[in-house]
Structures are given as structure tokens and as C-alpha cells.
Chains A and B, each alone.
Chain A
């Protein structure tokens, strides 16, 4: 669905953000896009959704160049940006105005997710809190049934129960022909939701694997001492260490935070 080849990009008067970055992603996954501040996560999402032009390298989404912004492609892409400005209208008016553009928009699904998030469709968007507006946008995005959903920091501003609902509604609303990319700093919020991880660092993709592959090859444990552990990477944790080591046949839950820190510190994953 997404093919990026040798992408080079920089903002005016800035150093290169991406150096020969290549990435390929197919439908049927929920991908977590991780990276340090300034690694270019939001920029990559903007390039994928056609908000920015890629001057060098190629980007195709569903076979088309996103920056051409063909309506037939835009009908299949929905982006929730990190910063957004919603009009001062009721939820129902917003839905009436924008659902027109998405041919597979599902009003029943929207009503259900809105109810799950405890929102009221009669409310005005200007009277909602930041978190409530985010919940509405998530509900709207999922209801479009677009083939590519791009969510930039979707859990920012959500309260703790809403984060759990977010995971539930995202996991329960998708089809196999859809691809969801979630960019986030809050890795705990998307654990048990994402099935692939892409990590960006210094202009390149430094990690691109499914959680299933990782859990096959590596074990994530805690230990009071590092003696005889054979760790690939470890971090000090309360009462000992968090340890990443080769798998020994017993599957463990992937600690995305530990995995991220290991990748950023230079651990090479096979």
C-alpha cells in the first residue's frame, strides 16, 4: 500500500531530515511509528498523506503519488493530525459536512464509537475539551472506512479509560484491507494494539519488524542481577534490571519501550 524509496527531505534552512529513507508497508496491519522528538515522524506522515512534497525519492500510496492529491486517493486516506482546528459546529453538522466525501462512511459505526466514548452528537465541537475532540476525530476517522488511516499522537489528551476504549475501538473497527499508522510517544498506550513497529532515527528507518517476529527471537524480562543473563540490552529498573535477551523458547510480551531504547542505542535486530 505504501512504497517509499530513497526519500530525502529537509525543510528550508534545516539539515536533512531523511537520508535515502525507504519503507514498504502493506494493508492489514496496525503500525506503530516511533522515534525521538524531531526524528521526523509527523513529517513522514505528512509526506505519506500528500501534505508535503517529496523533492527527492519516490512515495506512492496505493500506486499514486500522494502530493498530486487526486480526490480518488484522498477518499481512501484519513489523517488525524497532532494539531487541528475544528469548526464551531455541532458534531452532527460536522459529520453531515465531511461524511459526504467518503464513499464507505458508516454512520452506524460512528454512532457506536461516539457512544463508546460517551460523546453526545448534539454537542458543539467548540464546547468539547481537547481530549473529547480527539475522541470524536478518532471515531470519525474509523467510520470513514478509509484504506489508510494515519493517526498522529492519537492518545494525547485522552484520559485513562478513554485510552483503553481507543485500543478497543481501533482493534474492533478495522478490516484486512486497511492499514493504520499510529505515530506516538506514548508507547504504553498502543501496546497490545500495534502489530508492527517502524522506528526512525537520524533520517533512516532503523527498525521495521512485526511484534510477532520480535517475540519469536527475543525475550523481555526483569532480573536482579545481570550475571549469566546474556543480555543484548538492559536498563536499570526498580529492584534490578529490565533485560532484552535472545529468546529461549518461552514467549514473552514485547516491552516496546525497552525495544525502542535498545534500537536507538544501536542494538542491531536480526
Chain B
């Protein structure tokens, strides 16, 4: 089989250009909405909470990150009328799939943290301007120098930190978990014709509820001991568990992406 029947750089470039011409307004609107939500939520958190510090930024970040990412990935692919146009464009299924993957997952993973940094910092700046020094002044170290940073430092989950603290591997595990959840939403968007996002969220909810129910019954009711459960709380074995989960989530994400590709390839416009 010729490579051009699967992927061709210039054709992919044409497709990307074409899609950007047609969707840049919606994309700007979506990212504008995300920026506004980050800004307003950050402001709300700081106004509502008496104390606001670095430890509270982390859960705030992840809640917005996961909810936003699932919704964004769930918006992939097209509704029926758009599907007809999309399927008749002279590009391969792989090129269409790759573009959606780059736009809806990879771009989100890169841009969202930057947006969070910028717009939460803006919210902190505004809050501090209203009441100087009251809300938060976080100290952290860069090359043995203590820096007073008047906004969300973000260093804790930055790529640099993740790479430096590779021994605990936690940031990578979180990243692979995010990738897995987003690829699930992505697969849902390719699978369900009607209300893909809602159906995927219901499906995800059912999976999580089943897992939670399983652990509740086995641990709380039946008092079974999962050896790896104990290992998690054991400082010595924690890195090992994290590595296993990282590999497992990466593998599951790849399975989801493969499944999505074949759904896109076999997609029909009925």
C-alpha cells in the first residue's frame, strides 16, 4: 500500500489550513470562554476562600483541566450534515483523525496549562490589587534564590518539575491519566451519533461508579486486602505503583486511540 494512501504531509497541511480557515472563529470563541472561566473561577475561589494558597491551586487546576478537557475532546468530529462534507473531502481517515487528535487533545494539553497560568495570575493580580498582600504571596525557590511570586507559581506541575522529579513520576501519571480520560471522550465522540458528549460522560460515570462500587464492596464490606492498595501508602513501593499505572494508562490511551481511528475510518453518513 502506498504511503500517500495513509498520510501525506502536503495533503495534511492543506487539510489543517482548510479546517483552520473554516473554524478559527469557533476555536477563538472556545478558548476565549475557557480563559474567561479560568479567570472568573480563580477570582471566585480567592474571594470565597478566606485563605488561598498553593495547595488549593492544584485541585482547582485539575478540576477545571479535566472538566474542560473532557468537554473539549467530546466536541470532536462532526454531526450528520457536517459528516457528509467531512467524508467527501479528499483526505485520508488517518489525516482527519490526526488533525482532530492534535486539535482536541494535544493542543489542549499544551495550551490549557499556559492559559491557566496566565488567567489565574491575572485574577490573583486583580485580587491583590484590591487588597494588597492579603490573598497570597507564595515563596518558592529557583536556583537557591527565594522568589516572592504574587501569582500562582505553577512550578509544582510544570514540565520542568516533572522531569526533575522523575523519580516519583507523579506528574507523568497525572498526564497519562488525563490523556486516558480525554481519549475516552474522544472515542465516545467518534462512536455515538447523537449526544456523544452526554453519552460518553454517562459511560465514564458508569465505569467510575462500578470501580468505586467494587472497591467499596471488596475493601469495606468483604474486608479483602488488595496488596497493591497497601503498596500505594507505603513510601518504598509508591514509585513502582505509579510507574505501573503510568504504563497501564498509556497503553489504555493507545487502545482508545486505535479504536477511535477505526471508528473514523469506518464512519458512514446514513
- Can you pick out 16 interface pairs between chain A and chain B where the beta carbons lie within 8 Å of each other? A51-B84, A51-B87, A52-B268, A52-B269, A53-B266, A53-B268, A71-B4, A83-B80, A85-B81, A87-B23, A89-B21, A89-B22, A93-B22, A94-B22, A97-B21, A100-B17
Q: Once bound together, how far apart are the Cα atoms of A49 and B269, in whole Å?
A: 11
Return the chain A residue nearest B11 by Cβ.
A71
Return the chain B residue nearest A47 by Cβ.
B268
B5 within 8 A of A: yes
Q: Once bound together, how far apart are the Cα atoms of A69 and B88, in whole Å?
A: 8
CB-CB under 8 A from B22, the residues of chain A are 87, 89, 93-94, 97
Q: Once bound together, how far apart are the Cα atoms of A85 and B8, in whole Å?
A: 27
Return the chain B residue nearest A75 by Cβ.
B90
Q: Which of A53, A74, A88 contacts B89 (CB 8 A)?
A: A74
Interface flags for A59-82 (1: CB within 8 Å of B; 0: not) read 000000000011110110111010
Cβ contact within 8 Å between B84 and A77 = no
Interface flags for B64-102 (1: CB within 8 Å of A; 0: not) read 000000000000000111101101111111000000000
Q: Which of B17, B81, B87 contacts A50 (CB 8 A)?
A: B87
Q: Which of A51, A77, A85 contacts B82 (CB 8 A)?
A: A85
CB-CB under 8 A from A101, the residues of chain B are 14, 18, 89-91
Query: How many residues belonging to B are interface residues under a CB distance threshold of 8 Å?
Result: 29
Q: Once bound together, how far apart are the Cα atoms of A49 and B85, in whole Å?
A: 11
CB-CB under 8 A from A83, the residues of chain B are 80-81, 84
Known: A53-B266, A87-B23. 13 other contacts (CB 8 A): A46-B270, A52-B270, A69-B87, A74-B90, A81-B84, A83-B80, A83-B84, A85-B79, A85-B81, A93-B21, A97-B17, A97-B21, A101-B14
Q: Once bound together, how far apart are the Cα atoms of A202 and B82, in whole Å?
A: 30
Q: Once bound together, how far apart are the Cα atoms of A182 and B4, in whole Å?
A: 32
Chain A interface size range: 20 to 34
CB-CB under 8 A from A88, the residues of chain B are 25
Q: Once bound together, how far apart are the Cα atoms of A69 and B85, in whole Å?
A: 13
Q: Once bound together, how far apart are the Cα atoms of A88 and B27, in whole Å?
A: 13
CB-CB under 8 A from B23, the residues of chain A are 87
- Could you tell me which A residues sit within 8 Å of B by CB distance? 11, 46, 49-53, 69-72, 74-75, 77-79, 81, 83-85, 87-89, 93-94, 96-98, 100-102
Interface centre among A69, A72, A74, A85 (most CB of B within 10 A): A69
If the complex has contacts A100-B17, A101-B14, are A78 and B88 also in contact, measured as CB distance less than 8 A?
yes
By secondary structure, the B interface counts as: helix
Number of A-B contacts (CB under 8 A): 78
If the complex has contacts A83-B81, A93-B21, A98-B18, are A74 and B88 also in contact, measured as CB distance less than 8 A?
yes
CB-CB under 8 A from A89, the residues of chain B are 21-22, 25
Cβ contact within 8 Å between A84 and B81 = yes
Q: Once bound together, how far apart are the Cα atoms of A147 and B18, in whole Å?
A: 22
- A73 → B minimal CB distance (Å): 8
Q: Once bound together, how far apart are the Cα atoms of A79 and B88, in whole Å?
A: 8
Cβ contact within 8 Å between B81 and A11 = no
- B191 → A minimal CB distance (Å): 15
CB-CB under 8 A from A97, the residues of chain B are 17-19, 21-22
- A11 → B minimal CB distance (Å): 7
CB-CB under 8 A from B93, the residues of chain A are 69
- B206 → A minimal CB distance (Å): 24
Cβ contact within 8 Å between B88 and A77 = yes
Interface flags for B257-270 (1: CB within 8 Å of A; 0: not) read 00000000010111
Q: Which of B1-60 contact A (CB under 8 A)?
A: 4-5, 8, 11, 14, 17-19, 21-23, 25
- B218 → A minimal CB distance (Å): 40
- B242 → A minimal CB distance (Å): 42
CB-CB under 8 A from A75, the residues of chain B are 90
- B263 → A minimal CB distance (Å): 14
Return the chain A residue nearest B88 by Cβ.
A79
Return the chain A residue nearest B84 by Cβ.
A81
Q: Once bound together, how far apart are the Cα atoms of A49 and B89, in whole Å?
A: 11
Cβ contact within 8 Å between A46 and B14 = no
Q: Once bound together, how far apart are the Cα atoms of A256 and B155, in whole Å?
A: 75
CB-CB under 8 A from A49, the residues of chain B are 88
CB-CB under 8 A from A100, the residues of chain B are 14, 17-18
Cβ contact within 8 Å between B88 and A70 = no
